[in-house]
Copies of this chain bind each other. A is one copy, B any other.
Amino acid sequence: MKRDLTPLFRPRSLALIGASDDPTKIRGKILAQIVKGAYPGRIFPIHPTAKTIQGLPAFAAIGDAPGPIDLALIAIPAESVPATLAQCAAAGVRSALVFSSGFAEEEGGANRALQDRVRAIARDSGMAVAGPNSVGMLDLAAPLAATFSPAIDFAALPGLRADPARRRIGIISQSGGLGFALFNRGLKRNLAFGTVINTGNEADLDACDILDFMLEDEGTGAVLMFVEAIRRGRRFAELAARALALDKPIIVAKIGRSPAGSRAAASHTASLTGSDAVHDAIFRRYGVIRADDQDDMLDIAAACTLCPRPRGRRVGIVTISGGVGGWLADTLETHGLEVPEFSAALQREIREFLPSYGAAFNPIDITAQAIGNDHRLRSIAVLEAADEVDAVAVVASLAADSRMVHEKAALAEIVARRRKPILFYSYPLPSEQARSDLAEIGVPCYTSLRGPALALAALADRDAASRDLARPKASPNDPAARDAALRCLDAADDTLCEYEAAAILAAYGIATLPSRLATDAAAAVDAAASLGYPVALKIQSPDIPHKSDAGGVALGLADAEAVRDACVALLGRIAAQLPAARLHGVLVQTMAPRGLEMIAGTVDDADFGPLLTVGLGGIHVEVLGDVATVPLPIDGSDADALLDRLRGARLLGPLRGALSRDRVAFAALLVRLARLQDDLAGRIATIDLNPVLLHDAGDGISVVDALIVQRRPDQRGAA
């Protein structure tokens, strides 16, 4: 049920339930600040007895207020909230924001029932309810600031009423004070904001609902989010894809990278944070930018709202200090950007105006003597026009007020025509005048090296994600393969035996090693003879997913006698140690030739849907954790890019004269595996191919073992 959130953020009228005459109390403060913030709509204080509150006529109940009410602000004890909300709904109030705490956030979840009632009232009535346990919201288009956050200068709000021509930043925070702290910091950097909200416990409206509103809102050009838990992963992914298509960057701080961070998040919102790697994979796919600090978020937002997207990662630097220019070059390259040496032709072009004591190769060192001449402007213009860089970063010293005065008009002309980002970094703290001069002409001004590096990397990442996502993905579902796979799944236990998994893989064109199922030693010997020696034996039981650990595998059996002995020993061992295990038999399998060990697997994440993980096998995955994950669907190009993300990716390529491994065949397997998992999402929980051996280029791959686990019948979704 999608509801219009305009009444919540830009109400024409509002009621304050729990209003107080005393502006030092939180409830009184909210009203006083709404008035101070010059909210232009009608305000109805609700109070059981008072005739007026802070000079405004008060009403005993919501139903008594004259005229329609878009928004009810609720600041009363938790136990009264559900009944009051019900009255609001009955009175036709269109939205509510609940400040009150004492719901699911309290330790032990004792008050969760109260929160469930809030949700039920909202869902039943169609009234959009934010909170409870919210610090409030702010909207500069209304304008309205309904919050008790101390980070806001309310008297200044009317002056901030947003310039409709600028791309405004929206803020969604699951943490109380953080959203307003971001807003407060961003204003000091001349950033333009639209809507800010603390979503609190998200009984009804969650971060995705608000994000949806901001993406549809014309004035919002970028969204900052602080999240402890994304409760609807698939919905978030859809919205992120839309944001990418609309070129509205989403910049997310997501806690839970560390055990302590997860502990805090779980305690704080009574919700668990998901796996960090899954979040990273989703963010990467949909061009969502993850940031690790408040200033990082704002640094990135500044470039995203002011600059065009670069078409690559090559940065040209113009500097008045050789040392600081070099330091910025280091920082950019550390963040995955490139600072290429300019071509001879471009250097000649720069040499036409640059004196001999300057440097022309990149960074361009115009030196401290460039004050009063046009070397900086000419350098910027040359780089803006050059095809060999995708962005221009300028190292400047803007401590003195006068520094931008002479160049502002000419710089504005270059900026007005720019096709690529142009950013400034001032190594002394810039003067207020220099800051506002640059802001006025739309140039982000950074005070850290990290800032422009993060911003340009984010812009380039988004551009890459946008091109990836626009590419048509893997071919459509394969109904015949899917039907065949479903028949196998229906016939199998939740944990499939390897031979059953092999049948499903085969339906999707993934070959495993030649093998035959045998039920006794004699049959195993027959099977081995037909397959050819040497062979492996593997116990097949839905109760033994990890066959080697259970002693259920024998490898490299060279003749009939070895097969017979091994089979008898193996069956005996299992019977003795796992007497309850249901046995389907023993799989007799050709031994694989040697190759590079890799792993490939999928998981159908409860929040975000199916994802594929690939890794270097053996010690790499175990000791070095060298794996990479991508959400489905994928195509061959995605599979290739996924392999490149491995730290040990060079192991696949030609190395020290040795041939390349069959990367092509492996990438093809990944695409097929992804299609299988994607076709059967909701039904298959995980697939593990471990190991897959990559042989020399052209010699293909060997899937040595395969494990498929179905979702439990009660957890199966529409496949």
Query: Which A residues are within 8 Å of any B CB, using their own CB?
Result: 101-102, 105-108, 135, 150-151, 173-178, 180-181, 184-185, 188, 226, 228, 253, 255-265, 267-269, 292-295, 317, 319-327, 329-334, 339-341, 356-359, 361-363, 365, 368-369, 397, 399-400, 403, 427-429, 447-450, 619, 622-624, 647-648, 650-651, 655-656
Contact = CB atoms under 8 A, between A and B. Distances in A.
Contacts of A427: 177-178, 181, 294
B106 A175 contact: no
Contacts of A397: 150-151, 177, 181
A449 B450 CA distance: 14
A79 B259 CA distance: 64
B265 A323 contact: yes
A619 B655 contact: yes
Contacts of A358: 107
Contact of A293 (B107, B332, B449, B656): B449
A342 to B, nearest CB: 11
A655 B321 CA distance: 51
Contacts of A322: 175, 264-265, 267-269
A450 B334 contact: no
20 contacts: A107-B358, A173-B323, A181-B397, A181-B429, A226-B323, A228-B323, A255-B326, A259-B333, A260-B329, A260-B330, A261-B326, A261-B327, A265-B326, A267-B365, A269-B323, A292-B330, A292-B450, A619-B651, A622-B655, A624-B648
A151 B399 contact: yes
A428 B181 contact: yes
A338 to B, nearest CB: 8
Given A180-B428, A255-B330, A257-B330, A448 B293 contact: yes
A263 B339 CA distance: 10
A257 B334 contact: yes
Given A184-B428, A331-B293, A175 B256 contact: no
* Number of copies of this chain that the complex holds: 2
A341 B265 CA distance: 14
Contacts of A292: 330-331, 334, 449-450
A429 B330 contact: no
Nearest to A180: B428
A289 to B, nearest CB: 16
A330 B258 contact: yes
Contact of A268 (B135, B359, B403, B650): B359
B175 A324 contact: yes
Q: Which 7 A-B pairs have the closest CB atoms?
A: A175-B323, A264-B326, A268-B322, A258-B333, A260-B339, A261-B330, A260-B329
Nearest to A451: B293
Given A105-B357, A294-B427, A333-B259, A268 B178 contact: no
A327 B619 contact: no
A258 B357 contact: no
B327 A253 contact: yes
B357 A188 contact: no
Contacts of A101: 357, 369
Contacts of A174: 323
A185 to B, nearest CB: 6
Contacts of A429: 181, 184-185, 188
Nearest to A267: B359
A629 B267 CA distance: 42
A107 B357 CA distance: 5
B293 A178 contact: no
In this complex, which of A150, A174, A293, A326 has the most chain B Cβ atoms within 10 angstroms of its Cβ? Answer: A326
Contacts of A320: 177
A357 B269 CA distance: 11
B293 A334 contact: no
Contact of A261 (B329, B399, B623, B656): B329
A141 B399 CA distance: 24
Contacts of A105: 357
A448 B341 CA distance: 34
A363 B399 contact: no
In this complex, which of A258, A259, A260, A362 has the most chain B Cβ atoms within 10 angstroms of its Cβ? Answer: A260
Nearest to A326: B264
A268 B175 CA distance: 47
Given A449-B294, A655-B619, A324 B178 contact: yes
B260 A333 contact: yes
A409 to B, nearest CB: 22
A256 B326 contact: yes
A225 to B, nearest CB: 12
A228 B323 CA distance: 7
Given A174-B323, A325-B264, A365-B268, A339 B151 contact: no
Contacts of A428: 150-151, 177, 180-181, 184-185
A403 B261 CA distance: 26
Nearest to A273: B326
Contacts of A175: 321-324, 327
Contacts of A622: 655-656
B257 A359 contact: no
In this complex, which of A264, A341, A651 has the most chain B Cβ atoms within 10 angstroms of its Cβ? Answer: A264
A231 to B, nearest CB: 15
Contact of A321 (B178, B325, B356, B624): B178
A317 B257 CA distance: 16
A185 B449 CA distance: 14
A181 B228 CA distance: 37
A253 B180 CA distance: 34
A135 B358 CA distance: 17
Contacts of A177: 320-321, 324, 368, 397, 427-428
A411 B258 CA distance: 30
Contacts of A356: 106-108
Contacts of A369: 101
A188 B368 CA distance: 24
A326 B260 contact: yes
Contact of A323 (B178, B257, B399): B178
Contact of A267 (B228, B361, B450): B361
Contact of A294 (B264, B325, B448): B448
Contacts of A267: 322, 359, 361, 365
